[in-house]
A and B are shown apart, each in its own frame.
Chain A
């Protein structure tokens, strides 16, 4: 069993490496690796490297947030945007545009919108110092619906050209606009994933049941709050650079659970790798299918992910 895991891990690392090489050479124009030594190609090389970095950060961040929410809510359908980060970020961005605030502050207002909506969802779900799973899911849905309605209202009321730019928020993109911001987000996501990993034993216990976890000495409400704060920070920072990219946070954890099992000590590193590979490949496809046009990456994640997931699901059903 242990050896099997090691083998799969090494295979994943190799696949990730190949995917990265592929992502460097493929694109609107294909450039062989050797040609990157030329000065004229340096700019493209850098640009592609940053996109790869964005893909890795985004994939692993969303997938690990998905894992955490699925464990806390004991629901494998939970996804990272469940707590309202996506609609909150969208609303933050739309309001900034409507108010005519400089584009430089757009990510900041999206981030604030995301955080505010999580706080709203969290406080709606909170009853006498406890977070009930059902109410958390319900408040997430309610806040999302309400915020989306306000977004649509603002967009339809305003003739502002800039609002068309908001579309990318709703579909997601790995285009890197601001390298400094990318590095900040990468740091937040990395720190977030490491802190979540420290809680992997707690996550195991929580996923068999909250009271079970309490009987194992885990201070459940405290740990839940910490984990919700970390995942919200991760998704909020990701939303403000990449917009909303569905499927990754929902399906990659699910797929990896079928492959390596639900033990978070193993699941988290495997999921980071798999989600990274998945996003890098999706981005290659998004860039190279119809050059110079770019297909929204959310479309690729869904088209590619759904069949893979079905195959895995069917196989695991057959084993049973």
Chain B
């Protein structure tokens, strides 16, 4: 029996009065590496924005260890839940160190100076993401792969229990994709960090996630273990594309092959 860290009950939400996410119920366990997949416009990002409190639910709620997240003080919430977006372009030349140290804001009072504890957390996050050597560089001088790692370091410096990521690898080449996902799985394993991540690439989702939710038109089409969700029947029904699902010869995880021209 696993501990449920996040319980989503009949969640409906979106922009203005329009509901984009409809009646989603889902349990996330402590230590999950949870993938959210689905076609464009299926409500993945809206769903994640509801969890991260950028949006307020129209119906239903989300409970963090049995407390409705919208009833938690925002600062306390951010001590426990951190967020990494697809790509963060910064217009001002902060140094990498300054950016990562901002991850400590939820733990500090206004005008309170950082202490040794905060510096240690920031440094640990930098080494974890292999960006310690970039410490004094300016954020707008980095490559997109380096920048993404720095923003993950910022989120890790928050020392959250849950890390939310919205397609963190979509602008990266395969080498950097694996690098970022490997560092996430490392924090997941070593620190028991719960990860909820949107991924476009079904094979990356298969390789890294232990559980997956497949969204379609704002609702959950199928959720569960990777093997149960990533079947050709499910994928063809939702993505309207013919695929063959094989097994990765090394990891034995499902592997999705595209079949061009067949409909």
A residues with a Cβ closer than 8 A to B are: 1, 71, 74-76, 128, 198-199, 201-202, 204-205, 207-209, 211-212, 214-219, 257, 261-263, 320
B95 within 8 Å of A (CB atoms): yes
| Interchain CB contact under 8 A, A201 and B105 | yes
A-binding residues in B (CB < 8 A): 16, 52-54, 74-79, 82-83, 85, 88, 90-95, 98-99, 102-103, 105-106, 108, 110-111, 136, 141, 155, 158
Cross-chain contact B110 with A201 (CB below 8 angstroms): yes
Partner of B98, one of A202, A204, A212: A204
Contacts of A209 in B (CB 8 A): 88, 90
* Cβ distance A6 to chain B, nearest Cβ, rounded Å: 16
Contacts of B155 in A (CB 8 A): 215
Would A204 and B94 count as touching, CB distance under 8 A? Answer: yes
Contact A208/B94 with A216-B102, A216-B105, A217-B106 known, Cβ cut-off 8 Å: yes
Contact indicator A261/B99 (Cβ below 8 Å): no
Contacts of B136 in A (CB 8 A): 1
Query: How many pairs of residues, A versus B, come closer than 8 Å at their CB atoms?
Result: 75
In the docked arrangement, what's the CA distance between A219 and B73, Å? 10
C-alpha gap A66/B142 in the complex (Å) = 27
Please state if B52 and A215 are interface contacts (CB–CB under 8 Å): yes
With A216-B105, A217-B75 as given contacts, are A201 and B111 in contact (CB-CB < 8 Å)?
yes
Our pick among B74, B94, B110 for the contact of A202 (Cβ within 8 Å) is B110
Beyond the given A205-B105, A216-B158, A217-B75, could you list 11 further A-B residue pairs with CB under 8 A, ordered by the A residue number? Answer: A1-B136, A198-B110, A201-B105, A205-B102, A208-B90, A211-B83, A211-B85, A214-B52, A214-B74, A261-B94, A263-B94
Neighbouring B residues of A261 by C-beta, 8 Å: 93-95, 98
Cα A219 to Cα B83 in complex, Å, equals 16
- Tell me if B94 and A217 are in contact (CB < 8 A): no
Q: Once the chains are docked, how many angstroms separate the CA of A208 from the CA of B155?
A: 14
Q: How far is the CA of A212 from the CA of B102 in the complex (A)?
A: 10
| Cβ A208 vs Cβ B16 within 8 A | no
Contact check, A217 vs B88: say whether CB atoms are below 8 A apart: no
Q: Which residue of B lies closest to A74 (CB)?
A: B91
CB contact under 8 A between A207 and B110, given known A215-B78, A217-B105: no
- Complex Cα distance A262/B140, Å? 12
- Taking CB atoms, residues of chain B closer than 8 Å to A262 are 92-94
24 A–B contact pairs at CB < 8 A? A1-B136, A71-B92, A75-B91, A76-B92, A201-B110, A204-B98, A205-B105, A207-B90, A207-B92, A208-B102, A209-B88, A211-B83, A214-B54, A214-B74, A215-B78, A215-B83, A216-B106, A216-B158, A217-B74, A217-B78, A217-B79, A217-B106, A257-B92, A262-B93
Shortest C-beta distance, A205 to chain B (Å), equals 6
Contacts of B53 in A (CB 8 A): 214
Of all chain A residues, the one with the shortest Cβ separation from B103 is A216
CB closest chain-A residue, reference B16: A128
With the chains together, A209 CA to B76 CA distance in Å? 20
